[in-house]
Chains A and B, each alone.
Chain A
Amino acid sequence: DAMVIQNPRYQVTQFGKPVTLSCSQTLNHNVMYWYQQKSSQAPKLLFHYYDKDFNNEADTPDNFQSRRPNTSFCFLDIRSPGLGDAAMYLCATSSLFEGTVLGLYEQYFGPGTRLTVT
């Protein structure tokens, strides 16, 4: 089944130790998103890619970086994790084709990676 895959599902890192979270998709969608979701809060958009075009949210800290080497993969790098970065990180994809041609725009979310910072 076409889907959005996130690895690992659970990640533990030490304070200040760089960590990379990965996302892959088999949907061939041109848009990929990264969200941060803290406990009992709504998902917060960090950044997204339209194809290779990177779009950073104004309030996303510089500590968070992203890479999209190809259509299928997207990575979230946290350069120096702090205790406040402990959260669920959600990857999502969508298709501009669906939005502009089919009149339907749906984001497909992965299961998330829960990051713990010790």
Chain B
Amino acid sequence: LAKTTQPISMDSYEGQEVNITCSHNNIATNDYITWYQQFPSQGPRFIIQGYKTKVTNEVASLFIPADRKSSTLSLPRVSLSDTAVYYCLVGELDDKIIFGKGTRLHILP
């Protein structure tokens, strides 16, 4: 399983676009990049998953450069309810998930 590095915490304001970058220099050919969101006292929730280039869904976008050694989760126009911990995970699709430390995102009014 590739090791990931993300900022420990980030602050932003309501209405802003938030970008959280994850480094995964040792990503393997068969590895996918997945992001989870966790609110306090709840289980993590899948946000988005991708292999290369760009993936977009109704919640977020995931940007993956050609070398795949990093990825950026983009949250458009955040609100207070987006305050949560965001985890970046890298591994093969049927790998067990090992969570890293995650990024604590705090949205300010």
Binding site for B on A (CB under 8 A): 4, 33, 35, 42-45, 48, 55, 88, 90, 92, 96, 99-100, 103-112, 114
**Chain B: how many interface residues by the 8 Å CB criterion?**
20
Is B29 at the interface (CB under 8 A from chain A)? no
Question: Would you call A107 and B46 a contact (CB within 8 A)?
Answer: yes
Residues of B close to A105: CB separation below 8 A = 32, 34, 49, 93-94
**B residues less than 8 Å from A35 (CB atoms):** 99
Residues of A close to B97: CB separation below 8 A: 33, 45, 92, 107
Query: Contacts A88-B41, A92-B43 given; 20 further ones with Cβ under 8 A?
Result: A33-B96, A33-B97, A35-B99, A42-B100, A42-B102, A43-B99, A44-B99, A45-B97, A55-B96, A92-B44, A100-B93, A104-B49, A105-B93, A105-B94, A106-B34, A107-B36, A107-B46, A111-B42, A111-B43, A114-B41
